[in-house]
Amino acid sequence: MSFEVRLGLQLGEAEVFAEFSSDARLTALVGPSGAGKTSVLNAIAGLLHPREGRVVAAGQVLFDSAQRIDLAPEARRAGYVFQDGRLFPHMSVRANLAYGERLAPASERWITRDEVAGLLDIGDLLDRRTANLSGGEVRRVAIARALLAAPRFLLLDEPTASLDAARAEALLGLIERIRDAMDVPILLVSHSRAEVERLAGQVVEMA
């Protein structure tokens, strides 16, 4: 099972419910703005705490209110690519990449820095300051940083949003390659029908 999610989240006045399970290599989470898609990703990553429910990713129970399981974010090993990149502004690209890599157990790494640099074409960016990167470059570095942390599963939040058509196309090709080559389930939030049809083995609609 790639993902098994059943959760109820209280976000201020609003409540978000999500329930799905998927065996697909890539599962897409779609729905209108404000449906709580990003909140679901945050809950799976351990950044939000559901009132109740159960979250299993890549075979590991991350949260189970009945069994009182609630792993800390650092123990969940999510490869979370945030919509806004969230690169560390006081570090070079190289230091950003090394951040999670250093913390991951060596035996669990499944991709090397050279492989990531080749896959994402970021070899030339390593010594740059994050402030000087373009939107597409930030996205690629953020994905590389997540992959190097040896995640057990990936959470991609609108990875192609605000990229031009050519950049978006390149990134989709890359996600396809990660999906087909790596043994990590991916949960993708997207607004684009075409993107979802092309990538996803299973689609989850949120109302």
Partner 1 sequence: MSGVLSAAEWAVIGLSLKVSLVAVLASLPLAYALAWLIARRRFPGRMLLDAAVHLPLVLPPVVTGWLLLLAFGRNGPIGHWLQQAFGVSLVFTWLGAALAAAVMALPLMVRAMRLSIEAVDRKLVEAARTLGASPLRAFATITLPLSLPGIAAGAMLGFARSLGEFGATITFAANIEGQTRTLPLAIYTGLQVPGSEGAVARLAIMAIVLSLGALMVSEWLVRRSGGSRAHVL
Contacting partner 1 (CB under 8 A), which of 66, 131, 165, 207? 131
- Calculate Rg over the CA atoms of the chain: 16
88 binds partner 1 (CB under 8 A): yes
Give the strands of the sheet with 78-81, arranged side by side.
78-81, 153-157, 186-189, 26-30, 202-205
* Min dist. Cβ of residue 77 to partner 1 (A): 7
CB 160 within 8 A of CB 172: yes
Contacting partner 1 (CB under 8 A), which of 18, 29, 40, 45? 45
Nearer to partner 1, 68 or 89 (CB): 89
82 binds partner 1 (CB under 8 A): yes
Contacting partner 1 (CB under 8 A), which of 47, 71, 126, 161? 47
Contacting partner 1 (CB under 8 A), which of 13, 66, 67, 72? 72
**How many H helices and E strands in the chain?**
7, 10
Q: Which two tokens stand for residue 79?
A: 């490869």
Q: Quick one: CA dihedral 198, 200, 201, 204, positive or negative? A: negative
Place of tokens 């997207």: 190
Rule CB under 8 A: which residues touch partner 1?
Answer: 45-47, 72-74, 76-80, 82, 84, 86, 88-92, 95, 99-100, 103-104, 129-131, 145-146, 149
